[in-house]
Amino acid sequence: MSSFSDPQAVARYAEGPVRQVPGFHALQQMAALLLAESVPEDGHVLVLGAGGGLELKAFAEAQAHWRLLGIDPSAEMLKLANATLGPLASRVQLLEGYIDAAPEIPFDGATCLLTLHFLSVEERLHTLRELKRRLKPGAPLIVAHHSFPQGEREKARWLERYAAFAVSSGIPWANAKTAIDAIGARLPALSPEQDVALMQQAGFETIELFYAGFTFKGWVAYAPAQ
């Protein structure tokens, strides 16, 4: 994650997801629609891992009266988020930090896109539990990140597919190969089954898969209703 503090890497950030994440814009659109099923017109939404501002902008454009709180540990990424939002920035609060920096108030919904795969199992479970603690009863959490089988052969096959998508989107093969080598060696990714089990352990209910794009998976889950 150190690259997210590199101003030059941050400046190029917006180019990456579109080329590396299948259906990136559709993923944001689906996340906004899933939130809108439960979040009221004037609802308050927590966006964890919001650096860059891409989903904040998508949500603000989709719902004119939502209040948005974006949290990210990188000051450089939050600067980019503010620039990305432009005139929409007045409707968004940006906060530097991790989940523990989020105010302990009940949110109507939350998202964590392309972020949880950077966290160890222990950090991920803590993050999920703290997200649930900040959600109103029955409120949705939407997550999407790298999640693929962890057996040696299956893992290699899915990472090769990820690389093939990146190359077909215009990323040089050498760069794609470097990326999958790094993901395979250092990223603490889980299998989809492990991801679901961790969300259940954190206390979420009605966990539904809504997105699958090669190595990426996305779920909507709900805080327990009271």
**Per-residue pLDDT tens over the stretch 65-101:** 999 999 999 999 999 999 999 999 999 999 999 999 9
pLDDT at 6: 52
| Half-sphere exposure of residue 67: CA atoms within 13 angstroms, side-chain side | 7
Q: In the CATH scheme, what is the code of domain 2-151+190-222?
A: 3.40.50.150
Residue 120 Cα distances to 4, 49, 63, 116, angstroms: 18, 15, 33, 8
Residues lower than pLDDT 50 in the chain: 1-4, 9-10
pLDDT at 18: 84
Strand ranges (E), 21-169: 44-48, 67-72, 92-96, 109-113, 140-146
1 three-class SS = coil
Buried b (16+ CB within 10 A) or exposed e, 145-179: bbbbbeeeeebeebbebbbebbbeeebeeeebeeb
- The answer to whether the pTM exceeds 0.95 is no
pLDDT at 51: 84
pLDDT at 17: 85
pLDDT at 121: 98
pLDDT at 94: 97
What is the token pair recorded at 182? 């790094």
pLDDT at 13: 55
What is the token pair recorded at 40? 């009221």
